[in-house]
Amino acid sequence: MSADVMLATLTPGFQRFLVVIALLVVAAIVLAIVSAKATPHTARRASAVNRYLLLTMLALIVLFPIYVTVVNSLLRPDVIGHRPPTLFPTHPLWNTYSSAWSDGHLGRYLFNSFFVTLLIVIGQIITAVLAAYAFAFLAFPLKRFIFVLFLSTLMVPAEVTFFTNYQTVSSFRNVPVLGTIAGYNTYGALVVPFLATGFGAFLIRQAFMSLPRDLRDAAALDGYGHWRFMTRVAVPLARPAIASLALFSFFGAWNQYLWPLVVTNDDNHRTVQIGLRQLAGASVDRINVTFAGTILAALPLFVLLLVFQKQLVRGLTAGAVKG
């Protein structure tokens, strides 16, 4: 098929999208050529504009699938499969979102996801801060060896511990207290295996290591013990790294699918990812409702990423410079 025929099969909206991408690429190439032959001042400005053009192009490429999902959620089911695809709905069906909320019981699933994710985030922050402080400021035998063991857990795939965790949770079923707290089909079963993370300990330890050693000495002269120094000095200064860990923990816990599917069997404990799968199975002839449910489930992630993006970047670079 020739390029002209392929372009003719595309919708005008998609053609315009490709034209915008092509123009951005051409502009970036022209600016690169200009910056190579211009004065230093002009070259710096051209280079800055070139970077923004590149970032804009990449943003459009990344956001385009999300835009298509939103559009499909507003179309009739018989229109979604049309070729070429429709990119600008003329008669949007906004009731698909209310249908996804009510038919898919997303209210209950979202509550379960929020509750489980919140517990996992809190648990990982507490355990990571305590472990990171020990590795950064305390002296104890085999400290470096134990820290390497912590890091080695990052190389162990989750599938390796999956069945062991499942057997452990299943064995709690006949234990009076543990069976109620962390047994099969409980919130504890969804939370306990993820309360600690080697990545979190490493991230916050690097932030602690970037703090001047003089702070610890000055705090000791003021009578600060380890607990007061950690809670009043180290943790406040490491807030960007802790915020980054909270975001990573939230994203990972929110997107879990296989583990909640295996350790729960009723809607009172299952999370939103399983709810989306059940919604897709129950709405085969209404795929637009499934798209709407996907947007509703991903909305909290988008909000968090937009609100805390600066903290995320600061946290990832907090341990890059020591001073």
- Same domain? For 190 and 44 the reply is no
Q: Assess whether pLDDT exceeds 70 at residue 22.
A: yes
Task: Enter the pTM of the model.
Answer: 0.81
Mean pLDDT (whole number) for 152-173: 85
Residue at 322 is within a domain: no
Give the mean pLDDT of the chain.
82
The pLDDT-based confidence of 130 (bands split at 50, 70, 90) is: very high
Instruction: Point out the domain boundary residue: 44, 67, 93.
Output: 93
- Same domain? For 89 and 137 the reply is no
Predicted pLDDT of residue 2: 45
Average the pLDDT over each of 7-11, 109-113, 219-223, 250-254 and give the range with the smallest value. 7-11
289 CB contacts (<8 Å, ≥6 apart)? 73, 96, 99, 100, 103, 104, 279, 283
- Same domain? For 289 and 227 the reply is yes
- Same domain? For 39 and 183 the reply is no
Distance CA 246, CA 129 (A): 12
7 CB contacts (<8 Å, ≥6 apart)? 15
Of the segments 51-65, 144-158, 282-296, which one has the largest average pLDDT value? 144-158
How remote is the C-alpha of 285 from its chain's centroid?
31
The pLDDT-based confidence of 116 (bands split at 50, 70, 90) is: very high
Predicted pLDDT of residue 5: 45
Instruction: Point out the domain boundary residue: 45, 75, 93.
Output: 93
- Same domain? For 141 and 233 the reply is yes
Q: What is the pLDDT of residues 189-219, one digit of tens each?
A: 899 889 988 899 999 999 999 888 888 888 8
Residue at 239 is within a domain: yes
**Count of the separate structural domains present in the chain:** 2
Predicted pLDDT of residue 167: 87
Phi then psi for residue 290, to 5 deg, are -65, -40
Percent pLDDT > 90 in the chain is 19
- Same domain? For 235 and 286 the reply is yes
Domain that holds residue 147: 100-317
- Same domain? For 197 and 142 the reply is yes
CB 249 within 8 A of CB 125: yes
Sign of the torsion angle spanned by Cα atoms 24, 29, 30, 36: positive
Residue at 323 is within a domain: no
311 CB contacts (<8 Å, ≥6 apart)? 239, 240, 243, 244, 247
- Same domain? For 251 and 124 the reply is yes
- Same domain? For 10 and 86 the reply is yes
Residue at 29 is within a domain: yes
- Same domain? For 178 and 253 the reply is yes
Residue at 195 is within a domain: yes
- CATH number, residue 207: 1.10.3720.10
- Same domain? For 135 and 211 the reply is yes
Residue at 153 is within a domain: yes
Predicted pLDDT of residue 109: 92
Sole residue written with tokens 């000495």: 217
- Same domain? For 52 and 128 the reply is no
Residue at 21 is within a domain: yes
285 CB neighbour count, 10 Å cutoff: 8
User: DSSP assignment, residue 234?
Assistant: I
Distance CA 52, CA 298 (A): 27
HSE-CB for 145 with a 13 A CA cutoff = 3
Q: What is the pLDDT of residues 285-312, one digit of tens each?
A: 788 888 889 999 988 888 888 887 777 7
HSE-CB for 142 with a 13 A CA cutoff = 5
| Nearest to 205, CA basis, from 145, 150, 140, 141 | 150
Of the segments 18-22, 124-128, 158-162, which one has the largest average pLDDT value? 124-128
27 CB contacts (<8 Å, ≥6 apart)? 53
Question: Is the pLDDT higher at 314 or at 2?
Answer: 314
Average the pLDDT over each of 10-14, 224-228, 275-279 and give the range with the smallest value. 10-14
For the CA atoms of the chain, what is the radius of gyration? 25
Phi then psi for residue 49, to 5 deg, are -65, -40
